[in-house]
Structure 1
């Protein structure tokens, strides 16, 4: 009902104005009761008003729930899309990089040359060679004919030769790959596999050794991990070796740390502990399809795309050609094809550029030629950032 008002202006017979006190308070009480009734109706839904409010509240709750469900659905859709993208990226990486920790395992990349008779140098890319106390020694590229069945789908392999041992104690011939980062395969099973063709008689032996190096200022190198001798048959041999490298807990490492897989073709008595007593050997052997992977099973060697293999090798070294001039700018700058593992050593292998010099500039991406040559000369250097 409508609110009542007290009368304050009507002249009464007794000369007073408006309602008396009793009447005025009665009106005020009625108004208060009416207001309370209206509020109760709003709260309880009586008369339809409360129902509208309740309906509005329900609608808002449903809208809020729908929005929350939409946010959750959108987040899930994004997670699924991200996961699908990760799978595609991983699959692409698997096709390009593969599961082989070794680079140039098929011996297709030879940026430094095709034959090496010296020691303590990198020969085929990523492979460090050492030989001493032997005669007729060499590491060389062997180009394969199409359709070769011993090394199928390979363009080349590595031929390792020695004709004699001049030291019963110090003789050694070994090649190894240093897989960057001492954490590689530490404390978990891994498997090395490769093919070796023995053109000589059965009974020729080789040895496999693993090692861990901890870089400049790091812990002492651990040599002679799980060495094993393999006696070869005549012709093709497939070698498999599973190893668990030691834990690196408590070790410290600096730049140039690595996990190492090494193949010995002869070893004097000084190296018996590292080669499980391989002993003195002679002859030629052909190696290829080298693979080092996680797990206890040797899976088939998968050849990477040639461009990908070369890019992986570039991280550790690449030749850079240039022309040194007798005039023009005093400084010339050159960029590497890919950033190097470390600031590389720049070794001039072509024509002399003296008195001009090469300056690595403390950079893994570029270097400079400082100064001028007496006359214009084409030359090249090798940027070596190997471990």
Structure 2
């Protein structure tokens, strides 16, 4: 909401006029302070998580270039046919192109491959399809490209999986024209009501924001008819909020934003696990964490341990392992108990300590 000001104007001479003017001046000053304070208070008005691309738990680059994969936390690439290289980029300290002093932006280098069904999309899935049913929302973001290019923006309603869900409700795309300089774009969308739409039973329904960077002919309606193109597309400070007006970007404290990200994805390092030896080749590990959105899928990130570099202590001996793998993990939204195979020379029943507490051991994925 735009701040309104008291119009002091010209006051008449005399004591009453002077007194009234002083009172209104004080009221105006107080309102200025209140308005300034309100703008600096995190409001959680941004329905996106990690809209400023500050958090990259999976790494800053090296993601799959085709298919479907998460990159920056909560941001997913959908690239059937064409290819995309995603990386984290850093703003120069003190830059003045974009307000709020952002630290990072996302870079998407697209190589288009001709085909009506080929495309490159950067998307975020907002949990709970009910949340925006029938609402008018405003999407705002900053973007630029390596040349004059268009990108499309759309919103889809996804009923999720499980049971007999209805079909995805695909929104019409709006195209915007990018240049080589940063520009802010503001777009309005009105989402249809989900009345009568069958919602899945798995709890993974959502509304998705889509940035169309390359779109074959079959996606004209959804992409704003941007067509197929190769190029480099930079995006920063993305916000989705209810209502028809764009407000300033919602800068939430870093700890809050990380907590929101870890509802969907979490990296467990060595300090988050305890263990005991089960056999000469197997260790049973256990760990706990704050509740995630759903029971996550688990990937073992570290598959070898070196006794020579003191990574793993079993009893009183430093031990090693190679080609380690999870075996029958028991996982909930809050914990894991899993055997890990691939060790040698262990003595059963000994406590295990991962000495390299900073090493990334597990990737927990509860994304939508």
Q: TM-score, normalised by structure 2?
A: 0.72
Q: Which has the larger radius of gyration?
A: 1
Aligned residue in 1 for 2:160: 215
User: RMSD between aligned alpha carbons?
Assistant: 2.6
Show CA shifts across 1:231-251 (max 9, x none): 223412211111111101122
Residue of 286, 306, 309 corresponding to 1:333: 286
Aligned residue in 1 for 2:125: 178
Unaligned segments of structure 2, at least 5 residues: 1-36, 305-320, 345-351
Residue of 335, 339, 348 corresponding to 1:366: 335
**1:270 Cα offset (Å):** 2.2
**1:262 Cα offset (Å):** 0.4
Aligned residue in 2 for 1:357: 326
Aligned residue in 2 for 1:230: 176
Query: Which structure has more RCO (C-alpha within 8 Å, separation ≥ 6)?
Result: 2
For the residue of structure 1 that corresponds to 2:244, the secondary structure is coil
**1:383 Cα offset (Å):** 0.4
2:191 aligned with 1:240:
no
Total equivalences in the alignment: 291
Q: Residues 331, 134 of structure 1: CA spacing in aligned structure 2 closer, same or farther, 3 A cutoff?
A: closer
Residue of 90, 95, 98 corresponding to 2:44: 98
Show CA shifts across 1:277-307 (max 9, x none): 2101221121011000010001110211111
2:274 aligned with 1:292:
no
1:185-196 to 2 correspondences below 5 Å: 185-196=132-143
Structure 1 distance, partners of 2:215, 2:146, is 20
Show CA shifts across 1:191-226 (max 9, x none): 1110002332x3x10001110111113533334313
Q: Residues 306, 358 of structure 1: CA spacing in aligned structure 2 closer, same or farther, 3 A cutoff?
A: farther
Structure 2 distance, partners of 1:282, 1:372, is 45
The answer (yes or no) to whether the contact 1:325–1:373 under 8 Å persists in 2 is: no
Aligned residue in 2 for 1:62: none
Residue of 348, 361, 364 corresponding to 1:380: 361
Show CA shifts across 1:60-95 (max 9, x none): xxxxxxxxxxxxxxxxxxxxxxxxxxxxxxx99x94
The answer (yes or no) to whether the contact 1:185–1:244 under 8 Å persists in 2 is: no
Residue of 72, 75, 87 corresponding to 1:124: 72
The answer (yes or no) to whether the contact 1:175–1:263 under 8 Å persists in 2 is: yes
Structure 2 distance, partners of 1:225, 1:99, is 22
Structure 2 distance, partners of 1:143, 1:225, is 32
Show CA shifts across 1:240-281 (max 9, x none): 111111101122322100011100011011222321321012
Q: TM-score, normalised by structure 1?
A: 0.69
2:90 aligned with 1:143:
yes
Residue of 207, 226, 229 corresponding to 1:259: 207
Counting helix residues as a fraction of each chain, which structure ranks higher?
1
Unaligned segments of structure 1, at least 5 residues: 1-90
The answer (yes or no) to whether the contact 2:266–2:365 under 8 Å persists in 1 is: yes
**1:333 Cα offset (Å):** 1.4
Structure 1 distance, partners of 2:276, 2:247, is 56
Show CA shifts across 1:120-156 (max 9, x none): 0111100111123335x31110011211222331110
The answer (yes or no) to whether the contact 2:56–2:73 under 8 Å persists in 1 is: yes
Structure 2 distance, partners of 1:172, 1:246, is 25
The answer (yes or no) to whether the contact 1:318–1:383 under 8 Å persists in 2 is: yes
